[in-house]
Structure 1
């Protein structure tokens, strides 16, 4: 346990470090799925590792120590006591960070639902009369696409089809869930913050590729994105899956080139990192169970 319990932390840092390269060399859809699942596995593993470190404090309780002295046994110290207490404090911080993310997501979804309340339930597209140029997907059952009149008026007909196809991709592929999953993983393990940023970019790239395929013209998709970005208001609220979010220039450049390859072996390696973190946590769990079995009077 002295080593295995720290394996998830090391692997999560490695996963975050390589995530930008994964986003550059792998198609957005498999890259997003692989990184999201690996992030969830890593975050769960590191949280579990913190619980294991905290659980070692059981051997420091007076009843256990008294029983050990009475039996003439010497209790092993798997980790320093200061590390165990630090793990307890970090767990409290993790719980606070997770609660903040969940509250923010709940407030965002509630605000989005309010925007749609006065419109027919079967309307996919909701047009808001606003001078602020924006468009974003509103997940739910059914999912909606909300676009301002300023945004639609700024685009040519073919470019509007790109925008709508982009937002439909967010709804069809449940991108909001992937975004929330990596946000929670990053909250539980701050080492994964860079990965969360990468996934946010890849989600938009995924929708861009979907839109380019839907209209059959990557050049039109690039022009639509460029025109929308130039028109969009600079003070758009954050945390929306919006058409002009997340490093627009890189997205336009990607649409000007051929689609990236769908290399499954790279996705498999990413998932292997996440699985390895889980295996390290499982091995540490087995070590702790054996330790407690020797320490506790049954």
Structure 2
């Protein structure tokens, strides 16, 4: 079973990050975000299942457990005797991953609760009387956009329309789901942290592009993003949601892409690379599950 651990836990997660670094800026941002988030989720799930299997193996090779369920604990232990530390390391890593996933999910739910605002029927815009410049999308049924008076006063009418188009693009495309999916994947394996950060960037780029189409001016959207970013620099009172001026130093890159757009490279092989790695890891994990139960059967007396 050790080869499954090596492939799905050690090799594929960093390998898919390399593949995604080659892919991310060569596809339309909306497409790249979907591919990256779901591929990372597949790789994270495969890693988590493998950690679970080796944790179960660690439990199964305890003599008292073997006697209780009627198999030879020694036979189970001998399967990975040359790397006896792997099952116990897997158990520790599984606990860390589960706690990390739980914390991220709890943080997501808390953010949604904090952002909830009672809206009149059909109203999807909330203007808060607050001098702090903020604007963000809050997902839900229905989702809504929150803009403070401080932000509204900084923008021209055209820039304000661009900001609203950007935030409504987040809601229409369900970008919060992709962000959450990537964050949960990152919680399963530290190598996937970069993927989660880059999905954040890509959904902002996708919303920028959609806003530019709706407004009909890439320059107006770029100015709105730049103005919002300058206004929110150093603002520690940032509410939860999808922000037009996302943190992390990516605003200059987004503005550059709007003003000097790069033609995407439409190579099917590029799209297939991370997806293929994720599928291969999932298939290999299916074989690991089969091998684990075969090992338990082989460990029973008379087999």
Instruction: Provide the TM-score with structure 2 as the length reference.
Output: 0.89
Alignment RMSD, CA only? 2.3
How far apart are 1:290 and its partner, in Å?
1.8
> Whole-Å Cα distance in 2 between the matches of residues 2 and 169 of structure 1?
45
> Which stretch of structure 1 is more off in the superposition, 171-180 or 273-282?
273-282
Q: Is 1:280 matched with 2:284?
A: yes
- Report 1:143-182 matches (<5 A): 143-182=143-182
Runs of 4+ with deviation above 6 angstroms = 65-69, 72-75
> Whole-Å Cα distance in 2 between the matches of residues 100 and 214 of structure 1?
37
> Which stretch of structure 1 is more off in the superposition, 182-191 or 10-19?
10-19
Residue of structure 1 equivalent to 2:80: 78
- Report 1:75-224 matches (<5 A): 76-78=78-80, 80-113=83-116, 116-117=117-118, 119-224=119-224
- The 3 A distance-change label for structure 1 pair 131 and 46 is same
> Whole-Å Cα distance in 2 between the matches of residues 259 and 124 of structure 1?
33
How far apart are 1:133 and its partner, in Å?
0.8
> Whole-Å Cα distance in 2 between the matches of residues 200 and 26 of structure 1?
15
CA contact (8 A) 2:40 2:192 kept: yes
Q: C-alpha deviations, 1:71-118, integer Å up to 9, x for none?
A: x989732353322112112111111111111111111111101xx12x
Gaps of 5+ in 2: none
Q: Is 1:26 matched with 2:30?
A: no
> Whole-Å Cα distance in 2 between the matches of residues 179 and 16 of structure 1?
16
> Whole-Å Cα distance in 2 between the matches of residues 222 and 109 of structure 1?
28
> Whole-Å Cα distance in 2 between the matches of residues 81 and 103 of structure 1?
35
Q: Is 1:53 matched with 2:47?
A: no
> Whole-Å Cα distance in 1 between the matches of residues 208 and 75 of structure 2?
64
Instruction: Provide the TM-score with structure 1 as the length reference.
Output: 0.91
CA contact (8 A) 1:127 1:147 kept: yes
> Which stretch of structure 1 is more off in the superposition, 163-172 or 149-158?
149-158
CA contact (8 A) 2:39 2:275 kept: yes
- The 3 A distance-change label for structure 1 pair 101 and 74 is closer
> Whole-Å Cα distance in 1 between the matches of residues 34 and 16 of structure 2?
14
Gaps of 5+ in 1: none
Residue of structure 1 equivalent to 2:242: 241
How far apart are 1:284 and its partner, in Å?
1.9
CA contact (8 A) 1:166 1:210 kept: yes
Q: Is 1:257 matched with 2:260?
A: yes
How far apart are 1:150 and its partner, in Å?
1.5
How far apart are 1:187 and its partner, in Å?
0.9
> Which stretch of structure 1 is more off in the superposition, 2-11 or 100-109?
2-11
Q: Which has the higher contact order (CA 8 A, sep 6+)?
A: 1
